[in-house]
Structure 1
Amino acid sequence: MRQSLEPTPDPGWIIAHEGYNVLTENAVESRFAFGNGFLGMRAALAGGRGPSWLSWLGGVRWRSWPRCYVAGLFDIPNTEPPVPALAPVADWSRVLITLNGKPLLAHEGQMLRGIRTLDLRRGLLLSAWTHCTPAGVTTSGRGLALLSLADRAAGLQLLRAELDRDGVDVKLEATFAMASLDVKPMLLEQDLGSWRTEVTGKGVAMAGAATLRLGGKLREPERPFPLLWVWSWRSIAGQVIELDRMVAVARAGNPEDDPAPRAAAALERSRLLGWRAVLAAHEAAWNARWTASDIVIEGDEAMQRALRFAVYHLTSAANPEDEHVSIGARGLTGDAYFGHVFWDTEIYLLPFYIAVWPEAARALLMYRFHTLPAARAKAAQAGYRGALYAWESADTGEETTPEHVVGADGAIVEILTGKMEHHISADIAYAVWQYWRATGDDEFFLGAGAEILLETARFWACRGIAEPDGKRHIRHVIGPDEYHEDVDDNAFTNVMARWNIARALEALELLQAGWPERAAVLRRKLSLGDDELADWRDAVARLVTGLDPATGIYQQFAGFNALDPLDLAAYAGANMPIDVVIKRQRTQRSQVVKQADVVALIALLPKEFPGELAERNFRYYEPKCAHGSSLSTSMHGLVASRLGDAEMALRYLHKTAALDLDLDPNSAGGVRIAGLGGMWQTVMLGFGGVDLMGDILEINPKVPPQWRSLSFRLCWKGRVVAIRIAGGALQATLVQGEAMDIRIAGATHKLTAGMLQVSI
């Protein structure tokens, strides 16, 4: 066991935190969270933290916020407004140690050493500690926890400890802490429990097994209650205590489905393997993922580690085996946003999965296909045809954005994003097209993707109303800049809508040319006639974009240019969001942008900004952005890198990395996974110059001069290509698949077996 508890020796794969601070502990637990896309767990200390039952907190702050999550397990809690939330399940890692009848608590006595280590290479949370109690008893130990990437139902915990003196009465309890679990128990047996959510009727089952050895000898536990193991003994100084615990979890989507047998079977798989084989299989699965997705930077150790941290969490969040769940705004690392899914997934995360893990990307897009009926229903309820996706989505795809919240002063605050932030439908269509172009997955396109494209286009054609000025307008929306609500003709929304309609028309032409029978079936299914298609073409031609031909600047929305200018540099020292500093009403009257809006449009649709238009619009809007969202800095970094401004791009890249790595207290609600996906895009799509949207794979690198080299792999239509950029040359190697064309720095080459080297 001892060797397994040691971290990877290469410091480039290690994130460590030493010490304990109540002000940052919740953020540490988010940052060091671990998961496998089905299960997620915050990095709370296994022992010594005390109980975490819920009560009215007032001004008291929890030291720790232990949580274990199951993807897709939503219920509607007793909140106002009542919206679905990701329900926590039992904390299966809890260990309670008592010495001479007194619990061993981290905040009592003296913590001589305490360090948590995230081993990115192996996908492990490791811990080491030395603690002296008020009575002078010193306990030292190491721990390991994982949620298996090889068998997503399985988890493993290892603990190795020893005391420094003889004759201490020791009791160790390995428990499934259930104090905060607000679900109905359906079955409780010694090694197995199952519960059901009260409102949604979803089921979850958890099975466990625990073994303890003293000095290498197996010791039988007491079993006073289900899922509780208790051992008692008198200490011998230096005697090694070894605990290993396995857990297995299963989820059920409806009351008729019993998850208990699946959890029991998953536990039996792990028990037959033994913890060493469970650990080895998990490490092998992580090794395979790192082979596919690692990015190697020579010349910037800090960014190398930050980027691996990003890839670690992106890998931990996805489950290609389940196409009925998606990734929430904080993944499975915290409670913020109730586990709801936003546009973050398609715009900030999907490019990573498309490029290095297409199976995961496909599952995430199939979630949107399965929730298409809810998107149709939302559009119809608003008086439109087609599909309007939920701004915040849970398991069913119904709109879960609260219509109002109670402010800090007790006033009711209306929430308009669920009613007006419609660009989500174009964002999903964008991801569908990007996935299909990069993978050539015709089965997905025929069975799901084309229908999403057509139904979202139908919504936009209906949404763009023809007016007496001869143009079509989209009024009463919220763009990415949420500081300004209920605006008309938001450039991001309108241009993305026009693009969505144009791609749907193109998709239909491709269907009719390549699969005419499938095209006819789909048109009949959607009642899509020639007159409606003519209206779509009219929408593409006449939809307002906001571009001023005289200046080359896209007006962010109608009337934006008439708002009051605001010098953000004057507020550079403020440690609060700008809308808090200058108040909401002044913010709405000002040319201040919450996050990348037109800049995001430049990032997603660079062909809409030919010549100098990208540079001109970026330089115009970049000083106006207050970055009031964690989504913002990475988009600015991506555009700056493409424009060749490496200094600015690196500055934004490091700002994005600092959001979670610097233990911002706002990280307590979970890691900002969209920012992590945005970091990856800045490096791969920006500095690496990868273009996944063309007819062939295109790479136009602009690596910062500070970096000696940049290496990565990516997938392209069934192939795997390895790229290394260094010393003014690009090396491309076809690792897997048939020969292909590749465009490097504007020139097209044939990539066959062996290595292709091109000067850039």
Structure 2
Amino acid sequence: MTSGRPATEWAWEYAGYQPAAESLRESLCTLGNGYFATRGAAPETVADDTHYPGTYAAGCYNRLVSHVAGRQVENEDMVNLPNWLPVRYRVRRDDAPPGPWLTPDSPALTAFHQRLDLRQGTLTRRLRFADGHGGHLDVEQHRLVHMGDPHLAAIRTVFRAHGWTGALDIACGLDGGVTNSGVARYRQLAGRHLTHLHTGADPDTVWLRCRTTESELRIAMAARTRVSGGGVTRDRVEHEGPRVTRALTVTLTPTRAVTLDKTVVLHTSRDPAISDPLQAAVDGARRAPRYVSLLGSHRAAWEHLWRRADVHAPGDAGRVLRLHLFHVLQTLSPHTAELDVGVPARGLHGEAYHGHVFWDELFVLPYLNLHFPEVSRALLTYRHRRLPAACRAAAEAGRAGARYPWQSGSDGREETQTLHLNPRSGRWLPDHSCRQYHVGSAIAYNVWQYCQASGDTEFLYTKGAEMLLHIARFWADAASYDAQRERYHVRGVVGPDEYHDAYPGAAEPGLDDNTYTNVTAAWVLARALDTMRALPEPRRRELFEHTALDSTELERWDEVSRRLHVPFHQGVISQFDGYGALAELDWDGYRSRYGDIRRLDRILESEGDSVNHYQASKQADVLMLGYLFAPAELAGLFDRLGYHLDDAGWQATVDYYLRRTSHGSTLSGLVHAWVLARARRGDAWRYFQEALAGDVADLQGGTTGEGIHLGAMAGTLDLVQRGLTGLEAREDALRLDPVPLPELSEYGFCVRFHDHWGVDLRVRSGRLCVSVPASGAAPIAVRLADRAVTVAPGDAHWLDLPGH
């Protein structure tokens, strides 16, 4: 099974080596700690069409210029750092020349097994090679990227000879000759980010230093190697261009295994409390404990994370949820709280989307808020530090306030590519996705959700208020008044759908009155008004003076928040103004011709057509509103805007877009599952299963190998945490409105709510248990639709759910 199989609830296993599945396995077996991560590539190999040993440090970007389609194109990439994995080996027998270097691709491979241990955060590989004379070599390898010390990683390799005695050559080192080439469609772009490579060695340590070409980020690695169990007959250091290798020859006998421990330390010039990255790396490698001690402290660090964040659900769904949580924590751990980084859409697992930060935090932070609020705050602080850049972008477009970029990287400028490649047609096409200005509303939503869940009024009244103010200011200025309709319009945007970026035949890109954009803009304006009114008077005066905000502008915010236009057609909410006039697509015809039509845009473009002509959406757009807002809140938003939205109208809208969505994004199944859990429960489970399988089964056809889909992974966790429970964490109470999902009738998790660490919520047999750990904090108010209870620290309370 190419997607692997969960051997137990804590392990993911692959039996047998399958080169065609290696890219997917490398992504799913990535190990990381929030500071850096390394793909689960074979240490015996180098980057080629099968293997890609990428290592990425959070926030490490570099910019290069490429020549594409007759144009100069500039891209900023998350840099593939030097490869610390290399451990090669070959057999010497008698006086014969050494055999070939052994890899999983060697004809001599007779057995292969790989196991990802989620509880311990380790990757174990077992390989067996035949020697052609009736004997064989067993290789067992254990790998970790330390969750306690963010700069440490280690590999232990154990060699065992069966049926022979001889020598084993081992080459163990660091490789700086890497490029960003992990995504096939980007290979026409420049990818050599590292320069000024220097290597060196100490008695048992080799080191490498380099820097990035444009951002001048200094990077250093040091690798300490120690051998036990066999006599070393050769030991020398080899410098070969950008590579440094410690070459060893050891004696191997059937009676004694040889163990090689490789301990690696990574530092960059972004790190605090160091003088020089190289000195820090070399010193760290010298001081690092032995492998057994490292493994012990690494396990302990993971155990602490699982206590705070584990989700309990039965069967395969529970196992996949735990795998998703594992990868979320490897990308965004407590170490992330110390960094200036955002949420990379594809984790630290690959190079898709160039490692950029999109709106995926909209699906990630709601989960983190209730487990690691310090990480959420840091991720929002990343956005606040780039508020000046967002204000400059708005000003350059002739707008007030802040216009955040659709794709962000190091400094907050717009990183969205101007061209994108359609691999089906081979053509480079204009990319207009930078018109997804709704990313600003996503940031505002996350500010509000974080502050509600954490009770962090200090952040809300300072950085949060500033972001809300400037995002609201942008929407108020972007809205133009139509005296005939007595409505405001927002024109020239692209919504979450992404398939539609222009009207048919239009000379200019952009759409008018995307409903998701307008409704969320109205929400931002209303929440910004609430915040301005709630500010303590001294802070309000300070902020108003600093931003030249006055009552006249607040009045416009209020007016626009009540008069933004929402288009309708055929009794349903229109995705954008004019959507209902587009042609209907022959869905059955395209499915019969192409099978998988998730990327319908690429199919139509290759035919010389455009998805802009059709009522066909890539992913949830209007239905995203049902993901962000509970039914009552969504109805209230429409009521504020002067529209009536009842259950029947929303149900009709859901049904309409279900028939017209291709699900070309891993986020689509997630959002549909969330919405259908309350609108059409019978179909929710099918979409939830699709969201769970998105990466483990690589449903998007090869994209997981380029990096996991972090938003979809975190979103499945949040679907259980908030979607099925209706959990809303507000300053005064935990509010719950559970919906029964027969296929997942039993589950549980812990959350952090204000001063309470580890509030346990369990759903079982139509009952909900809320358990509050003992502490000196005040009791928690728990509110359901039909009752309210108070749970004191040290107590548990069982509640019968409505309908049971």
Q: Report the equivalent of 2:200.
A: 189
Counting only pairs closer than 5 Å after superposition, residues 29-428 of structure 1 correspond to structure 2 as 29-47=26-44, 49=45, 51-52=46-47, 62-80=49-67, 81-100=73-92, 101=98, 102-133=100-131, 137-180=135-178, 182=192, 183-185=194-196, 188-190=199-201, 191-215=206-230, 221-225=235-239, 228-253=245-270, 258-269=276-287, 271=288, 273-298=289-314, 301-318=315-332, 319-345=335-361, 347-405=362-420, 411-418=427-434, 420-428=435-443
What RMSD in Å do the two structures reach over aligned CA positions? 2.4
Deviations 1:291-310 (A, max 9, x none): 11111113xx1101110011
Q: Report the equivalent of 2:504.
A: none
**Residues 1:653 and 2:688 are matched in the alignment:** yes
The unaligned stretches of length 5 or more in structure 2 are 68-72, 93-97, 180-191, 502-509, 636-644
Q: Report the equivalent of 1:4.
A: none
TM-superposed CA distance for 1:206, in Å, is 1.3
CA distance in 2, matches of 1:250, 1:593: 44
CA distance in 2, matches of 1:254, 1:374: 23
State the SS of the aligned residue for 2:788: strand
Letter matched to residue 42 of structure 2: L
Letter matched to residue 389 of structure 1: Y
Query: Does structure 1 conserve the Cα–Cα contact (< 8 Å) formed by 2:498 and 2:618?
Result: yes
Query: Does structure 1 conserve the Cα–Cα contact (< 8 Å) formed by 2:158 and 2:258?
Result: yes
Deviations 1:184-213 (A, max 9, x none): 236533143321101111111212211111
Letter matched to residue 13 of structure 1: W
State the SS of the aligned residue for 1:76: strand
CA distance in 2, matches of 1:9, 1:654: 16
Deviations 1:384-427 (A, max 9, x none): 11111111111111111111245555654111111x11100001
State the SS of the aligned residue for 1:332: coil
Query: Does structure 1 conserve the Cα–Cα contact (< 8 Å) formed by 2:440 and 2:471?
Result: yes
CA distance in 1, matches of 2:271, 2:303: 35
Q: Report the equivalent of 2:797.
A: 756
Q: Report the equivalent of 1:480.
A: 496
Q: Report the equivalent of 2:727.
A: 690
Which one of the candidate residues 503, 514, 517 is aligned to 1:490? 514
State the SS of the aligned residue for 1:26: helix
CA distance in 1, matches of 2:370, 2:134: 55
Normalization by structure 2: what TM-score?
Answer: 0.87
Q: Report the equivalent of 1:628.
A: 664
Q: Report the equivalent of 1:534.
A: 555
Deviations 1:700-727 (A, max 9, x none): 2223223452111112222231011112
Q: Report the equivalent of 2:762.
A: 724
Query: Does structure 1 conserve the Cα–Cα contact (< 8 Å) formed by 2:685 and 2:743?
Result: no
Classify 1:605/1:116 alpha carbon distance in 2 versus 1 (closer, same or farther; 3 Å). Answer: same
Deviations 1:323-361 (A, max 9, x none): 41112111100111110010012x111111112211111
Deviations 1:440-464 (A, max 9, x none): 1122223311111101001111111
Which one of the candidate residues 601, 607, 612 is aligned to 2:625? 601
TM-superposed CA distance for 1:371, in Å, is 1.1
Instruction: Name which of structure 1's ranges 685-694 and 472-481 shifts more when overlaid on structure 2.
Output: 685-694
Query: Does structure 2 conserve the Cα–Cα contact (< 8 Å) formed by 1:16 and 1:116?
Result: yes
Deviations 1:202-229 (A, max 9, x none): 11121221111125x7888433448532
Classify 1:406/1:702 alpha carbon distance in 2 versus 1 (closer, same or farther; 3 Å). Answer: closer
TM-superposed CA distance for 1:254, in Å, is 10
CA distance in 2, matches of 1:316, 1:484: 34
Classify 1:508/1:261 alpha carbon distance in 2 versus 1 (closer, same or farther; 3 Å). Answer: farther
TM-superposed CA distance for 1:264, in Å, is 3.5
Deviations 1:67-120 (A, max 9, x none): 111111111235342210011111111111022322113222242221111111
Query: Does structure 2 conserve the Cα–Cα contact (< 8 Å) formed by 1:393 and 1:400?
Result: yes
Q: Report the equivalent of 1:448.
A: 463
CA distance in 1, matches of 2:732, 2:612: 42
Query: Does structure 2 conserve the Cα–Cα contact (< 8 Å) formed by 1:545 and 1:554?
Result: yes
State the SS of the aligned residue for 1:92: coil
Deviations 1:463-491 (A, max 9, x none): 11112322110001000011111110000
Instruction: Name which of structure 1's ranges 394-403 and 616-625 shifts more when overlaid on structure 2.
Output: 616-625
Letter matched to residue 748 of structure 2: S
CA distance in 2, matches of 1:406, 1:571: 22
Counting only pairs closer than 5 Å after superposition, residues 576-615 of structure 1 correspond to structure 2 as 576=597, 577-583=599-605, 585-606=609-630, 607-609=633-635, 611-612=646-647, 613-615=649-651
Classify 1:695/1:383 alpha carbon distance in 2 versus 1 (closer, same or farther; 3 Å). Answer: farther
CA distance in 2, matches of 1:317, 1:386: 31
Query: Does structure 1 conserve the Cα–Cα contact (< 8 Å) formed by 2:526 and 2:561?
Result: yes
TM-superposed CA distance for 1:253, in Å, is 4.0
Deviations 1:153-181 (A, max 9, x none): 11111111212243433211111122215
The unaligned stretches of length 5 or more in structure 1 are 1-7, 53-60
Classify 1:434/1:219 alpha carbon distance in 2 versus 1 (closer, same or farther; 3 Å). Answer: farther
Counting only pairs closer than 5 Å after superposition, residues 522-561 of structure 1 correspond to structure 2 as 522-546=543-567, 551=571, 553-561=572-580
Letter matched to residue 747 of structure 1: R
Classify 1:220/1:691 alpha carbon distance in 2 versus 1 (closer, same or farther; 3 Å). Answer: farther
**Residues 1:458 and 2:495 are matched in the alignment:** no
CA distance in 2, matches of 1:392, 1:220: 51
CA distance in 1, matches of 2:513, 2:329: 37
**Number of aligned residues:** 730
CA distance in 1, matches of 2:404, 2:744: 41
CA distance in 2, matches of 1:218, 1:98: 15
Normalization by structure 1: what TM-score?
Answer: 0.91
Query: Does structure 2 conserve the Cα–Cα contact (< 8 Å) formed by 1:477 and 1:488?
Result: yes
Classify 1:268/1:429 alpha carbon distance in 2 versus 1 (closer, same or farther; 3 Å). Answer: farther
